[in-house]
Amino acid sequence: MKLTYLTAITMSVTLFTACNNNSSTKVNSQENTTKQVAEQEIALQEVFADSTYQLTGVAVAKDNRVFVNYPYWLDTHSYSVVEVKDGKPVPYPDAEWNSFRKGEDGQNKFVCVQAVVTDDKGFLWVVDAAGIGLGKVYQHSAKVLKINLTNNKVEKIYRFPENVVGEDVYINDIRVDNENGFAYLTNSNTGGILVLNINSGNSRLVLASSASVKSDPNYHFSPLRTELKKGDGSLLKVNSDGIALTPDKQYLYFKPLTDNRLYRIKTDLLQNFSTGEDALNKGVEDLGKFVTTDGMIFDKQGNLYFGDLEQNSIVKITPDLKMQTIVQDSEKLIWPDSYSISEDGYLYISNSQIQLMPWFHNGAAQFKKPFRVLKIKI
């Protein structure tokens, strides 16, 4: 497959400035934004490919160990979390955790894993939403696992009370702050931010009624140049999904998936469990409109990376909120989903091809296999 040349589009975006809501137009000259075009070549390198099973998440450890997860969305499903060894998927942390079948107890097995993330202390965090086919939580088995990468053992399992993760909550992505002892997760179904005290295990769901976690119904999300319709004829709307912590851990950034608005909130507000909903709602900052994305991640310099689902590209947003496209490839970047940054400065990108799922094509999958994990130097 011929490597594409990227077109880097730099857009000066000031705080609270909104771009045009048309998904095909990312710059609105009437809002005093400017566009500057430059060209450079960036190589998208293939790290891993799976010709059978749909993947969503990728995580890279300090020693460049690569982990991938597979949600139980379709009947074509086998393992949930793997480590990539010599280009092959090896069930992780072992085969038993990856042996779940419908009807079994899912408390101590992976049911529907949505995300994997490595931290700065040598642990892999696994988010098991337990919502098979994006349905209701299976037998109250939603959980988060903390796995020690030194001995490959599950060190802790975090479970949630019904008033935090009820049957309609789909926990999606996670960011971990070991310094202050908290993890943050998004609820992409009904919307909200789940705050987890990783020392005590206490948790709560906040901002569930905030507009910041709800997809804008007026945004026309069109990754195939037309809006995605589900089997019942309704349009695809996904609430709070992407999440990222600033390098200093002072701000949590988040956004709904199927619109282009970005928000943030100070983490000290979230960490204080006595902070009420009114104060939390007032603490949310609207940063304006950028592009749609699934996952997001900060590098150590405070640059924020998105995957523009509608333009098959990866964009970088600098600390002063200027945005540029760093690579675009319609053949390889098919729903760039999740991200991880290696110690040697590569951005790892999983591609889940969600827009090609049978859910949006009358039951017939349109996948362009294989499902890939790619990387680029940043």
Query: Mean pLDDT throughout 149-169?
Result: 98
DSSP readout, 63-107? T--EEEE--S-SSS---SEEEEETTEEEESS-TTTT---TTS--T
Does residue 32 lie within any of the structural domains?
A: yes
DSSP readout, 127-183? EE---GGG-S-GGG--EEEEEETTTTEEEEEEE--TTTS-TT--EEEEEEETTTTEE
Token pair of 252 as six digits: 């949590």
Does pLDDT of 19 surpass 50? Answer: no
Token pair of 99 as six digits: 């042996």
* Confidence bin at 207 (pLDDT 50/70/90): very high
Does residue 311 lie within any of the structural domains?
A: yes
Does pLDDT of 18 surpass 90? Answer: no
Number of compact structural domains in the chain: 1
Does pLDDT of 41 surpass 80? Answer: no
Does residue 1 lie within any of the structural domains?
A: no
We report the CATH number of the domain holding residue 95 as 2.120.10.30
DSSP readout, 332-372? T-SSEEEEEE-TTSEEEEEE--GGGSGGGTTT-----SSEE
Does residue 267 lie within any of the structural domains?
A: yes
Does pLDDT of 90 surpass 90? Answer: yes
Query: Mean pLDDT throughout 18-29?
Result: 38
Q: Could you report the per-residue pLDDT of 214-237, keeping only the tens digit for each?
A: 999 999 999 999 999 999 999 999
Query: Mean pLDDT throughout 121-131?
Result: 98
Does pLDDT of 186 surpass 90? Answer: yes
Query: Mean pLDDT throughout 76-94?
Result: 98
- Is residue 267 helix, strand or coil? helix
Does residue 237 lie within any of the structural domains?
A: yes
Per-residue model confidence (pLDDT) at position 29: 32
Burial 286-313 (b: 16+ CB within 10 A, else e): ebbbbbbbbbbbbeeeebbbbbbbbbbb
* Confidence bin at 42 (pLDDT 50/70/90): low
Q: Which domain holds residue 212?
A: 6-377
Query: Mean pLDDT throughout 78-97?
Result: 98
